[in-house]
Chains A and B, each alone.
Chain A
Amino acid sequence: MTVEILQGYLILSGILFAIGAAGLLLRRSPLVMLMCVEIMLNAANLAFIAFARYWGDMTGQIFTFLVVTVAAAEVAIGLAIIVLLFRHRDAADVDDVNALRG
C-alpha cells in the first residue's frame, strides 16, 4: 500500500471520527449518541486496518476484532441502561435526565 492510499484512508477515518464526535456532543437522543460512539470506534478501526496493511502486520487487524467485540458489549449495556432509565417516560431525551447537578 502506498502512502497516498494510506492518506486517503486516514482522511476518511478522520472525517468519520469527527462526525461521530460532533453527533455525540450535539444530538440529544441517547440512542443516537450510542450510534455516534460506534461511528467513532469504527473510524479507529478503519485507521487500524489501513495501518496494518501499510505495515504488513496482523496485530492491527486483531485489535479491530477486539474493538468490535467490546463495542458490542458496551452497546448492550448502554441499551439496557437506557431502557431502565426511560421505561416510565414518553420520549428518550438526555435533556430530561438532569436530576443530578451542582
Chain B
Amino acid sequence: MSNLTTVDLNFFAVAPLITLAAAGLVVLVLELVLPAERSRPWWYAAGLGGIALALYYVALLWSGPAAGPAASIIGAGLWGRVTNGISVFGGAYVVDRFTLLFSGIVLIAAFCTVLLSTARRDEDMPGYVALVLGAALGMCVLAGAGNFLTLFLGLEILSLNLYVAVAFERHNAAAKEAALKYLILGALATAAMVYGFAFLYGQTGTMSLSGLARGWEADSTVLMKVGLGLVLLGLAFKLALAPFHVWAPDVYQGATAPITAFMSVGTKAAAFAALVRVLLALMPEESPELLLPLWVLAVASMVVGSLSAAVQTNVKRLLAYSGVAHVGYLMMALLGMNHQGVSAGIFYMAAYLFMNIGAFAVVVSLGKNGREGEELSDFTGLFYRRPGLALAMTLFMLSLAGMPPAAGFQGKLYLVFSALGSGAGGAALWLVGALVVTTGISAYAYLRVVTTMFRRSEAQAELADAGHVEAAPAGLVNAGEGGGTGASVAGEGPLSWALTVVVAVAVIGTLYLGVAPQSMLALTRHVLPLP
C-alpha cells in the first residue's frame, strides 16, 4: 500500500485531461463575461482550442519534446518511460501508447463534433460545448484507467455528460425520451459493473488492474467468475453489444447528429480500451472457455446489427444498428489478446472514426428548417443536387460495408487475420464466418443508401425529362443544383466551412487508412505489454 509521499503526482502526464477540464470551464465562463451577441465565436474557439491543445499534449507525450521549455520543466526522465507506459497517481492512471492512441481517436471525434455543431442555433450552446469536452475527458480517463476507481470514474464522467447532451434539444420530445432510456439502462449497467468490481476486489483484495492479474492466477473461484461476468456486462452495455444494444437505436435517433457521431465513436473507443485493459488483467489463460459468452455476444451483435440495419428508413437508426454490427467485428480483436489483435482493433477503431463521423457529417449537412436530414427520403437524388456530398457519402457507406479501397475493408481484413492467428480455434472460425455472412447482409443496408442517392426524385425526374437539368457544378462547397427549381432543393445553400472541413477530413482519413494502412498499423504495434 503506497502512502501519500510515494504517490507519483505527475501532472504533466495527465496534461490532456487537465486541458479538457479547464477548456470546459473556460467555455462556460466566457459565456458569462462576454456580451451575448458577440461571445459565440469565442467559446467555439475556446472549445476547439482546448481540444487542439489536448491533442498537442497527447502528441508530445507520444514522442517526447526534443528540447525547449517543456523538456526542462518535466525533466528528461519521463520520456524514456512513456513508451513502455508509466502509471501516475499511485497507479490510478496509466499513460502508455495505448492510452495515447485512444485519447487521440476520442479527441479527433470531439473536435469534429464541435465543428459539426457550429451551425446549431440552440440556446445555451456553451453548455453543449462544455458537455462534449466533459464527455471527451471521461473517455480519455477511461482509456487509461489503472484501477477500478478510475475506470468507474471515467465511465461515469462520460455517461453523465452524454445523458445531458442527448437531452439537449429543448423542444424535442424524442431527445428527452432517448435520454431517459439511456439513463435508466446506463445506470443499470453501471450498477452491475460496480457490483462486479466488488466481487473482484473481494477475491483479490486489490483495486488495481495490475494487481488483479496476480489474483487470478491464485485460483479462479465463483466470486471471480461472477465478478468478471458483471464487469463484461457493464462494458457490453456501453459498447452496445447485442442483446444489450436496445438503447442504442433510440438514443442515436433522439440525440442530435453531432452528439450521436461523438457517442458512437468516442464511447465505443473508450469502452473498448477499458475492455482490453480489464481482459489484460483478467484473461483466464488456463480456461479460455470462460470468455465464450463474449464471442456469443459478438456473433449476436453482427447478426442483429446487420439484419436490423437492412430494414431501417431512418439513417441515424441505420447507423446505430451498423454500429452494433461493427462492435461485434471489433470483438474479434480480443480473441487471442495478443499484439496482432490489439493492433487490428485500434486500426479498426480509427477507420470507424473517419467513416462514421463522415456519415454523420453528411446527415448534419442535409439538415434544413431545424431538422436533420436523417430520413432515407432526404437522400433521394442527392447526387443530382450535391454530387460532391453524395460521392463522399458513397465512400463512407462502402467503407462501412467493408469494400476496398476504403478503410473499412483493410480494418476487416486485419481483424480476420488476427482472429485466424489467435489460436482460438473454433471460436475464431465462428466469428470469421459470421463476419463474412453479415458483411454480405449489411452491404444491402449501406448500398440502399447509395442507390437512393443516385435515384432521381420525382421533381428531378420531371425536370430531367423536360431537359431542364443542366450539368451539376463540381466541387463540394458550391454543389447546388443547376436547375434549382424543384421542391426538394429549396432552401439549400452551400455547406458551411466547418462541415466542409469535417467531410474532407473524413474522406481523406477513410481513403488514407484504406490505401496506406501500414503507417497507422506501425503506430499501433506493441502499445501494450502483451505476448
A30-B184, A44-B197 known; A63 vs B207 contact (CB < 8 Å): yes
Q: How far is the CA of A55 from the CA of B223 in the complex (A)?
A: 15
Interface membership of chain A positions 33-50, coded 1 if the CB is closer than 8 angstroms to chain B and 0 otherwise:
110010011011001101
**Chain B residues near A59 (CB-CB < 8 A):** 149, 201, 206-207
Closest to A41 in B: B191
Instruction: Select A54's contact among B148, B178, B190, B202, beta carbons within 8 Å.
Output: B202
Q: Given contacts A41-B191, A63-B149, is CB(A48)–CB(B184) below 8 Å?
A: no
Q: Quick check: is B153 within 8 A (CB to CB) of the other chain? A: yes
Q: Interface segment, B80-88, B248-256, B396-404?
A: B248-256
With A57-B1, A67-B152, A81-B180 given, is the CB distance from A100 to B174 under 8 Å?
yes
Select from chain B the residue with minimum beta-carbon distance to A58.
B1
What's the least CB distance linking B455 to chain A, in Å? 23
Min CB distance, A52 to chain B, in Å?
8
Find chain A residues with CB under 8 A from B153 CB: 66, 70
In the assembled complex, the CB of B159 is this many whole angstroms from the nearest CB of chain A, namely: 8
Q: Is the CB of A74 within 8 A of B202?
A: no
Tell me whether B194 is interfacial, beta carbon within 8 Å: yes
Shortest Cβ gap from A3 to chain B (Å): 11
B224 nearest CB across to chain A (Å): 13
Return the chain A residue nearest B176 by Cβ.
A85
- What per-residue 1/0 map shows which CB atoms of B94-105 lie under 8 Å from chain A? 000000000000
Instruction: Please provide the chain B residues from 229 to 261 with a CB less than 8 Å away from any CB of chain A in the complex.
Output: 249-250, 253-254
> With a CB–CB cut-off of 8 A, which chain B residues contact A82?
180
B205 at the A interface (CB under 8 A): yes
- Chain A minimum-CB-distance residue to B317: A102
Q: Bound complex: CA of A100 vs CA of B316, how far in Å? A: 12
Number of residues of chain A lying within 8 A (CB) of chain B: 44
Near A by CB (< 8 A), chain B positions 63-111 give none
| Chain A neighbourhood of B139, CB < 8 A | none
Main secondary structure of the interface of B (DSSP, over half): helix
Nearest-neighbour CB distance to chain A for B438, whole angstroms, equals 20
Which residues of chain A from 65 to 79 have any CB-CB distance to chain B below 8 Å in the complex? 66-67, 70, 73-74, 77-78
Which of B160-168, B386-394, B462-470 is the interface stretch? B160-168
Q: Is the CB of A74 within 8 A of B180?
A: no
Chain B residue nearest in CB terms to A75? B187
Which residues, 15 to 40 on A, are CB-close (under 8 Å) to B? Answer: 17, 20-21, 24, 30, 33-34, 37, 40
**Is A44 in contact with B205, judged by CB distance below 8 angstroms?**
no
Per a CB cutoff under 8 Å, which of B164, B198, B206, B254 touches A100?
Answer: B254
CA separation between A60 and B116, bound complex, in Å?
42
What is the CB-to-nearest-CB distance from B67 to chain A, in angstroms, rounded to a whole number?
40
User: A97: CB under 8 A from chain B?
Assistant: yes
**Most chain-A Cβ atoms within 10 A of its Cβ — which of B1, B181, B184, B206?**
B184
B438-450 vs A: 1/0 string, CB under 8 Å? 0000000000000
Most chain B CB atoms below 10 A, which of A24, A33, A50, A102: A102
**Residues on the B chain within 8 Å of A40, using CB:** 188, 191-192, 195
Q: Which of B406-451 contact A (CB under 8 A)?
A: none
How close is A42's CB to chain B, nearest CB, in angstroms? 9
* Residue A84 lies at the interface, judged by CB distance under 8 Å to chain B: yes
Cβ of A33 and Cβ of B194 under 8 Å apart? no
Cβ-defined contact, B176 with A81, below 8 A:
yes
> Smallest distance from the beta carbon of A26 to chain B beta carbons, Å?
13
Distance between Cα atoms of A43 and B193 in the complex (Å)? 12
Given contacts A44-B197, A63-B148, A78-B183, A97 and B177 within 8 Å (CB-CB): yes
Is the CB of B212 closer than 8 A to any CB of chain A? no
B163 pairs with A47, CB closer than 8 A: no
Residues of A close to B178: CB separation below 8 A: 100
Q: Which residues from B are CB-within-8-Å of A100? A: 174, 177-178, 181, 249-250, 253-254
Known contacts A30-B180, A34-B187, A55-B205: A44-B198 contact under CB 8 Å: yes
Within the complex, the shortest CB–CB distance from B300 to chain A, in Å, comes to 19
- Judged by a CB distance under 8 angstroms, whether B452 is at the interface is no
- Residue contact A51 to B198, C-beta cutoff 8 Å: yes
Q: How far is the CA of A40 from the CA of B197 in the complex (A)?
A: 13
A12 within 8 A of B: no
Contacts of B338 in A (CB 8 A): none
Q: Does B312 contact A (CB under 8 A)?
A: yes
Distance of A59 from chain B, by nearest CB (Å): 5
Which residues of chain A are within 8 angstroms of B1 by Cβ–Cβ distance?
Answer: 57
- Quote the shortest CB–CB distance from B323 to chain A (angstroms): 15
Q: Which of chain A's residues have a CB closer than 8 A to the CB of B179?
A: 81, 85
Does chain A have a CB within 8 A of B372?
A: no
Q: Is the CB of B191 within 8 A of A44?
A: yes
- When distances are taken between beta carbons in the complex, the residues of chain A under 8 Å from B39 are none
- If A57-B1, A77-B164 touch, does A37 touch B191 (CB 8 Å cutoff)? yes
A62 to chain B: closest CB distance in Å? 7
Please state if A102 and B148 are interface contacts (CB–CB under 8 Å). no
A77 and B160 in contact, given A40-B195, A51-B202 (Cβ under 8 angstroms) = yes
Is there a chain B Cβ closer than 8 Å to A11's Cβ? no
B199, CB-defined interface residue at 8 Å: yes
Are the CB atoms of A99 and B173 closer together than 8 Å? yes
Asked whether, in the complex, the Cβ of A70 is within 8 Å of the Cβ of B174, the reply is no
Contact of B199 among A21, A47, A78, A102 (CB under 8 A): A47
Check: B31 CB closer than 8 A to any chain A CB. Answer: no
Give 6 closest A-B pairs by Cβ, nearest first. A40-B191, A51-B202, A47-B198, A55-B205, A100-B250, A44-B194
A47-B195, A54-B202, A94-B180 are known; give 19 further A-B pairs, CB within 8 A.
A10-B202, A37-B188, A37-B191, A40-B192, A44-B194, A47-B198, A47-B202, A48-B201, A50-B202, A55-B205, A63-B197, A66-B153, A67-B152, A73-B156, A78-B187, A85-B179, A97-B180, A99-B173, A100-B254
